[in-house]
């Protein structure tokens, strides 16, 4: 986990000063070291802040240069198959200066050009700068685990690991303003379902699995180097063969993510995904440390996690997360939401958890994230079962949209449902499970859950690794028959029918009660935060200048913030979600407007 930034400025702006200013805003991502490079000839400059994980020596400082010192490399992330790539490159005559994993990207680019990126297994945002030609190459990993933000203006071109770093730029280069159309769209989801856009006008994201090539004359082009696809060989596997191959692929990914020159832990919620990750990490008698968040709430899963830890023999560390601390530090933590890609309240839990785990000397933490998206862990994957599968695609899109957002007709618009329906069509699949999976893997995962985890963990200098999100494992899971992921032809509300193949695999490693457990949340409940901050919620939403007042009258908002003790009905749930979104939005806007984020 690091921070990368670069500026290619137009006069009279000085790239060196601007890149250094942006880099200072990314120190939390890389508190161990920093590196800087400027090319005065082309008014370009690049900054790297380092969280040292592999090769802790000064040789790992970035930018890293090739042998002729004409190509500079900056990377945020990890390359897991670097040993295999390094051996191949050394046989081809390349000389390495460090033991880092990321140097393989540099020499791989020299050897294979842009073809190096499909060969990388890992999570990364990469910047390669050719001093000889002034060409800049940017790349983002296939599943969008690492963020990379782009800014093009009259002042020039800039990129950074977090959008809030652009707050350091002068108004003549870029100034804060909202894209009202994208903001409106985001308010109708839990996140912005846009591979490139943000709610910040002028700021975009590099899409996952994509290269951006910027020439010295300012011309830019993008090329997709990875696209989710089915593998006919996987689709033809028997169930037992599929379980065996799933075990081999996931075991390899877990083994790769355990590699580090610093202590590594596993986040254990007590659910299937994190428990299986921990079990594979502990395989062969390996000693591991597991961490779990505990709450004074009915959703607390500490006991389930403790039973898994005891079964695995891990050194287990329960960490209490006090909802009162979330309330007390709410405004302090809000900047972690960065460009507000996601409204996920789990950010608060993860930030506090990251602080406490970091205090214990852990710099790398394995997560079970991604299993639900890859292996059909959400209730809306049941759309491929009876009776839902018999419905027209447009109706299934409505049901999936409600499942994800809890937004009802009247607030939701047709274009919101069309976003989901468009994903179904983009997949090119008739298989309903794959249609849903396409949206989960290519839209929701990179724009929502990956950003939540990355930004929360990196805000406290901790690297999150996600073994399930190897892109070849994603292709494997996507290619499996629906019956291997969802058990039975009929939808069940109570039975654990989802992630069938993972449960079959987990049965070899975990207690039966863990294998059978239904999915549960891992966060401080949003309703509790809202009720504890009711005065602040009212003040911010009822303010005549608030965004909420552009959508609702004062009387409507007053009714919305009157919470009942239990919010179970669809109308109450929608009300809770809307109030949360507007409260978080108003709090986030205050941070930007008051200049508190530099």
User: Taking a C-beta distance cutoff of 8 angstroms, is the pair 7, 18 a contact?
Assistant: yes
Q: Is the pLDDT of residue 152 over 80?
A: yes
Could you tell me if 341 and 293 are in contact, meaning their C-beta atoms sit under 8 angstroms apart?
Answer: no
- Categorise residue 538: left if φ over 0, alpha if ψ from -120 to 50, beta otherwise: alpha
pLDDT at 521: 58
**For residue 565, pLDDT beyond 60:** no
User: pLDDT at position 142, please?
Assistant: 98
Coil, strand or helix: which one is 412?
strand
8-state DSSP, 19: H
Q: What is the pLDDT of residues 478-510, one digit of tens each?
A: 999 999 999 988 887 767 789 999 999 999 999
> In the chain, pLDDT over 70 holds for what percent of residues?
96
Whether residue 524 is predicted with pLDDT greater than 90 in this model: the reply is no
Q: Is the pLDDT of residue 366 over 90?
A: yes
Residue whose pair of structure tokens reads 């093009």 in the numeric block: 152
pLDDT band at 92 (very low <50, low <70, confident <90, very high): very high
pLDDT at position 110, please?
96
Q: Mean pLDDT of all residues in the chain?
A: 93
Per-residue pLDDT at 568 exceeds 80: no
Number of helices (H) and strands (E) in the chain: give both, helices first: 24, 17
DSSP code for 441: I
For tokens 């390669």, name the residue.
128
Average pLDDT over residues 145-157: 97
Please list the residue range(s) of the chain that carry CATH number 3.60.20.10: 3-224
What would the mean pLDDT of 452-473 be, rounded to a whole number?
97
Q: What is the C-alpha separation between 58 and 376, in angstroms, rounded?
A: 44
- Report the pLDDT averaged over residues 438-453: 97
Give the residue range(s) of CATH 3.40.50.620 domains in the chain: 232-516
Is the pLDDT confidence value at 548 over 70?
Answer: yes
Q: What is the pLDDT of residues 371-394, one digit of tens each?
A: 999 999 999 999 999 999 999 999
User: Is residue 355 scored above 70 in pLDDT?
Assistant: yes
* The total number of residues written for the chain in this structure: 598
Asked if residue 439 lies in contact with residue 194, where contact means CB atoms within 8 angstroms, the answer is: no
Asked if residue 294 lies in contact with residue 320, where contact means CB atoms within 8 angstroms, the answer is yes
Which H or E run contains 213?
strand 210-214
DSSP state of 317: E
**Residues 411-439, mean pLDDT to the nearest whole number:** 93
Does 417 have pLDDT greater than 80? yes
Distance of alpha carbon 596 from alpha carbon 437, whole angstroms: 39
Which among 509, 486, 481, 482 is positioned nearest to 497, based on CA atoms? 486
Using a cut of 0.75, tell me whether the model's pTM lies above it: yes
- Residue in the block written with tokens 């009387």: 555
DSSP 342: B
Tokens of 367: 């997560």
Does the domain spanning 3-224 belong to CATH 3.90.1150.10? no
| More confidently predicted of 567 and 245 | 245
295 versus 538: the higher-pLDDT residue is: 538
Confidence tier at 535 by pLDDT (50, 70, 90): very high
Considering the four listed CATH numbers 3.40.50.620, 2.40.50.140, 3.90.1150.10, 3.90.380.10, the one that applies to the domain covering 232-516 is 3.40.50.620
CA distance 410 to 577: 15
Q: Mean pLDDT over residues 170-197, rounded?
A: 94
Phi, psi of 323 (to 5 degrees): -60, -30
Tens-place pLDDT, residues 294-324 = 987 766 778 999 999 999 999 999 999 988 8
Residue 522 has pLDDT above 70, yes or no: no
Question: Which candidate, 510, 511, 487, places its Cα nearest to that of 277?
Answer: 510
How many C-beta neighbours within 10 Å does residue 224 have?
A: 11
pLDDT of 132-142, one tens digit each? 999 999 999 99
Question: Which value, to the nearest 10 degrees, does the dihedral of the CA atoms of residues 559, 330, 195, 478 take?
Answer: -90
**What is the rounded CA–CA span in Å between residue 59 and residue 81?**
20
Q: How confident is the model at residue 451 (pLDDT cuts 50, 70, 90)?
A: very high
Mean pLDDT within 527-555 = 92
Q: How far apart are the first and last CA of the chain?
A: 20
Residue 415 has pLDDT above 90, yes or no: no
CA geometry: angle at 170 spanning 167 and 174, to 5°?
70
In 10 A of CB 284, how many CB atoms?
Answer: 7
Segment 15-43 mean pLDDT = 97
| pLDDT, mean of residues 256-262 | 96
Calculate mean pLDDT across residues 219-227: 97
Indicate if the pLDDT at residue 442 is higher than 90: yes
**Coil, strand or helix at 494:** coil
% of the chain exceeding 90 in pLDDT: 85
Q: Give exposure, 107-119, as e/b (b: 16+ Cβ within 10 Å).
A: bbbbbbeeebbeb
Per-residue pLDDT band at 564 (split at 50, 70, 90): low
């Amino acid at each position: 986990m690091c921070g990368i930034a670069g500026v290619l400025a137009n006069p009279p702006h000085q790239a060196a000063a601007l890149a250094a200013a942006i880099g200072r805003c990314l120190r939390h991502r890389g508190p161990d070291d920093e590196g800087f490079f400027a090319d005065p000839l082309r008014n370009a400059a690049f900054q790297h802040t380092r969280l040292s994980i592999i090769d802790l020596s000064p040789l790992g400082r970035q930018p890293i240069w090739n042998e002729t010192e004409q190509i500079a490399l900056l990377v945020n992330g990890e390359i897991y198959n670097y040993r295999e790539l390094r051996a191949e490159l050394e046989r081809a005559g390349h000389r390495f200066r460090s033991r880092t994993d990321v140097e393989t990207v540099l020499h791989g680019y020299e050897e294979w050009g842009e073809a190096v990126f499909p060969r990388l297994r890992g999570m990364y945002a990469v910047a390669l700068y050719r001093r000889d030609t002034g060409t800049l190459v940017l790349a983002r990993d296939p599943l969008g685990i690492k963020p990379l933000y782009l800014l093009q203006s009259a002042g020039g071109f800039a990129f950074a690991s977090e959008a809030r770093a652009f707050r350091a730029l002068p108004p003549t280069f870029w100034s804060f303003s909202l894209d009202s159309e994208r903001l409106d769209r985001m308010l109708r989801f839990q996140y912005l379902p846009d591979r490139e856009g943000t709610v910040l006008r002028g700021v975009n994201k590099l899409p996952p699995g994509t290269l951006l090539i910027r020439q010295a004359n300012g011309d830019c082009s993008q090329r997709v180097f990875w696209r989710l696809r089915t593998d006919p060989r996987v689709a033809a596997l028997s169930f037992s063969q599929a379980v065996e191959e799933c075990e081999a692929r996931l075991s390899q990914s877990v083994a790769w993510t355990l590699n580090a020159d610093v202590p590594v832990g596993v986040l254990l919620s007590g659910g299937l995904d994190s428990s299986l990750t921990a079990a594979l990490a502990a395989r062969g008698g390996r000693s591991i440390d597991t961490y779990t968040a505990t709450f004074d709430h009915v959703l607390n899963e500490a006991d389930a996690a403790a039973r898994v830890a005891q079964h695995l023999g891990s050194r287990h560390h329960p960490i209490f997360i006090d909802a009162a601390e979330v309330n007390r530090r709410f405004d302090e933590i809000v900047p972690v939401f960065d460009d507000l890609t996601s409204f996920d309240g789990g950010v608060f839990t993860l930030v506090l958890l990251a602080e406490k785990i970091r205090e214990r000397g852990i710099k790398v933490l394995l997560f079970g994230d991604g299993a639900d998206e890859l292996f059909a862990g959400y209730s809306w994957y049941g759309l491929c079962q009876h009776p839902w599968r018999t419905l027209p695609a447009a109706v299934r899109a409505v049901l999936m949209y409600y499942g994800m957002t809890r937004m009802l007709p009247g607030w939701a618009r047709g274009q919101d449902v069309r976003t989901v329906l468009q994903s179904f069509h983009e997949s090119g699949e008739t298989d309903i499970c794959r249609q849903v999976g396409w949206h989960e893997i290519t839209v929701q995962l990179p724009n929502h859950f990956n950003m939540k985890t990355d930004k929360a963990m990196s805000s406290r200098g901790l690297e999150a690794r996600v073994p399930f999100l190897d892109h070849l494992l994603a292709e494997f899971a996507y290619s499996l028959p629906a019956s291997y992921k969802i058990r039975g032809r009929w939808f069940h509300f109570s039975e654990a029918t989802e992630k069938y193949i993972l449960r079959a695999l987990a049965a070899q490693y975990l207690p039966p009660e863990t294998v059978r457990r239904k999915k549960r949340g891992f966060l401080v409940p949003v309703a509790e935060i809202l009720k504890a901050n009711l005065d602040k919620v009212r003040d911010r939403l009822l303010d005549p200048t608030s965004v909420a007042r552009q959508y609702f009258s004062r009387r409507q908002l007053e009714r919305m913030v009157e919470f009942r003790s239990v919010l179970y009905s669809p109308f109450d749930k929608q009300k809770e979600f809307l109030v949360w979104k507007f409260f978080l939005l108003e709090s986030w806007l205050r941070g930007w407007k008051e200049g508190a984020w530099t």
